[in-house]
Amino acid sequence: MDDHIFLSYSNNVQRTLPPKNRKHPEYESKGFQYRELVPETIGSDNLREAVKLPPGVDINEWLAMNTVDFYKQISLLYATLEEFCTPTTCPVMNVGRYEYRWADGITVIEPKMVSAPEYVECLMNWIETQIDNEIIFPKNPGEPFPSNFEDFVKRILRKMFRVYAHIYYSHFIKIVTLNEHAHLNTCFKHFLLFVSEFQLVDKEEMAPIKDLVETVLKP
């Protein structure tokens, strides 16, 4: 079983993803007094072309290489926030009313509520385990990828998106204070353009920060 997204209400009832087009007032009011800072990126003019599959390159090789790169990027970005994203400041892994519960389907079967730092730590360890598994990510040239390799990539990138969403929702003010917002925006734009190019993260998964996604992807 994979982890799940829950929508929390004041009466503590938990429900799954809300209907499409539902408004998210917390998101719209929290963040986006910083809306003018979101488009600021570093040297990202060619990102739309950079994500496209190069001629003659195997699609699985391209997915694998970029997945590993995105993992390194998000690891470094989150590391700058570890002292600010704590079990006290972020007792739940959430983006506004959307809550993410952790499960890896192996050691943790039933999705459980954890703090944001615990969720991210579990996620990074899990991604590293996936990447180090040579059956999933073959290391030697010419070795075959599993027939369902894209499914592994989708699951990794879907979970990775949640870390970006949490950073923007809960920690963007701190990112601006640290003067790291241009770098964050560049990494996120690269990530979004790539997953959009190959349809690797569903629109429903992006719903908690739908407005931000649309702003970043705007030509």
Render pLDDT for 155-212 as a digit per residue (tens, 0 to 9).
999 999 999 999 999 999 999 998 888 899 999 999 999 999 999 999 999 999 999 9
User: How much is the average pLDDT of 120-131?
Assistant: 95
63 against 8, higher pLDDT: 63
Q: State the pTM of this model.
A: 0.82
Q: Report the pLDDT value the prediction gives residue 24, as an integer from 0 to 100.
A: 34
**Angle of helix 181-197 relative to helix 149-177, nearest 10 degrees?**
160
**Of residues 173, 147, 186, 149, the one with CA closest to residue 69:** 186
Q: Which CATH superfamily is domain 74-85+119-219 in?
A: MOB kinase activator (1.20.140.30)
The band of 41, judged by pLDDT with boundaries at 50, 70 and 90, is low
- The CA distances from residue 167 to 4, 21, 148, 173, in Å, are 19, 23, 30, 10
| Residue range 131-153: mean pLDDT, rounded | 92
With cut-offs at 50, 70 and 90, classify the pLDDT of residue 216. Answer: confident
Q: Give domain limits for the chain.
A: 74-85+119-219
Residue 4 pLDDT: 59
Residues paired with 112 in a beta bridge: 102
